[in-house]
């Protein structure tokens, strides 16, 4: 009888372990990070070949945070700001308050075929924006880069004049695609996206001054009981290889609090 009980116990443990192993590791990533994260994850797989395959979900930070609140099984949430991860931490949904892994920057982009000449002179930028029928930015209610874009337009004294011409994209990547495809000729996006090879043949860009919008400090957090692979990836993102890739893609690395 004891042997039967032990055997049943072993089977139950094995079944539970199999279920645990079968659970996918899912990482939610803010859209601005897509080019850099793809490069980082490729290196992670090469140096951690035994780790489980990660399912990556890209989107606006607001949508991803909302999905996590509603029970989406995101082991790691890599946000485009600090507020969404910290709200999840306050709600008790994360292991801790996480870390700031990068600081983002804004870029003005135009469709290459539109024939605009870009330069960093503020008056030239104002003239370009004032002459644009439509301007693509990310939805400020969902995307931190959208909020920063609004701050930039306000600092340039253009918000009241231009807000009716703004085309709100669900996330910052879609705002860039609008300009890349020519659906909109001008937009404000993440510098990391503007620098990406995917857009290099279809857009031109200039970085916008950092002092005209609040710092875009990007934080990541682990869920309360993360998969081991997610923890390893979280630590890898704080390492020297990931940091070099982030800087190469237009981010800066802020000092930790």
Q: Residue 76: give its domain's CATH number.
A: 3.40.190.10
Q: Which of 9, 43, 23 is nearest to 246 (CA)?
A: 43
Give the confidence band of 14 by pLDDT, cuts at 50, 70, 90.
very low
What are the start-end ranges of the H helices in the chain? 2-22, 34-47, 61-69, 83-90, 122-130, 144-155, 159-162, 172-181, 191-194, 228-236, 240-248
Please give the C-alpha separations between residue 16 and each of 2, 196, 229, in angstroms, as whole numbers: 21, 43, 18
Same domain membership, residue 97 and residue 119: no
Please tell me which residue, 7 or 179, carries the higher pLDDT value: 179
**Rounded Cα–Cα distance for residues 53 and 55 (Å):** 7
Same domain membership, residue 232 and residue 177: no
Confirm whether 28 is domain-assigned.
yes
Same domain membership, residue 110 and residue 202: yes
Confirm whether 11 is domain-assigned.
no
Q: Is the pTM of this model over 0.95?
A: no
Same domain membership, residue 156 and residue 115: yes
Please indicate if the annotation marks 148 as binding a ligand.
no
Where in the sequence is the domain holding 56, given as residue range(s)? 22-103+216-248
**Rounded Cα–Cα distance for residues 220 and 233 (Å):** 11
Q: Give the tens place of pLDDT for each residue, 199-253.
A: 989 999 999 999 999 999 999 999 999 999 999 999 999 999 999 999 999 999 9
Same domain membership, residue 205 and residue 164: yes
The answer to which of 19-23, 29-33, 139-143, 228-232 has the lowest mean pLDDT is 19-23
Same domain membership, residue 127 and residue 185: yes
Please indicate if the annotation marks 172 as binding a ligand.
yes
Q: Is the pLDDT of residue 42 over 80?
A: yes
Same domain membership, residue 58 and residue 179: no
Please give the C-alpha separations between residue 238 and each of 67, 74, 171, 192, in angstroms, as whole numbers: 25, 19, 25, 18
């Amino acid at each position: 009888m004891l042997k039967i009980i032990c055997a049943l116990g072993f089977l139950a443990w094995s079944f539970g372990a199999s279920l645990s192993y079968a659970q996918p590791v899912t990482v939610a990533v803010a859209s601005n990070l897509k080019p850099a994260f793809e490069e980082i994850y490729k290196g992670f797989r090469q140096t951690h070949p035994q780790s489980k395959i990660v399912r990556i979900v890209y989107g606006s930070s607001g949508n991803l945070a909302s999905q996590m609140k509603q029970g989406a099984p995101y082991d790691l949430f890599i946000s485009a700001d600090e507020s969404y991860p910290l709200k999840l931490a306050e709600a008790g949904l994360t292991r801790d308050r996480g870390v700031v892994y990068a600081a983002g920057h804004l870029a003005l982009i135009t469709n290459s075929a539109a024939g605009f000449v870009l330069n960093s002179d503020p008056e030239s930028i104002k003239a370009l924006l004032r002459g644009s029928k439509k301007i693509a930015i990310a939805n400020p209610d969902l995307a931190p880069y959208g909020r920063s874009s609004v701050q930039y337009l306000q600092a340039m004294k253009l918000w009241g004049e231009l807000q009716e011409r703004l085309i709100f994209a669900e996330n910052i990547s879609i705002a860039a695609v609008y300009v890349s495809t020519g659906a909109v000729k001008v937009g404000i996006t993440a510098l990391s996206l503007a620098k990406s090879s995917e857009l290099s043949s279809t857009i031109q860009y200039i970085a916008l001054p950092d002092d005209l919008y609040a710092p875009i400090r990007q934080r990541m957090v682990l869920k309360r009981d993360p998969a081991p692979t997610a923890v390893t990836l979280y630590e890898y993102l704080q390492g020297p290889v990931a940091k070099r890739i982030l800087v190469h893609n237009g981010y800066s690395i802020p000092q930790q609090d």
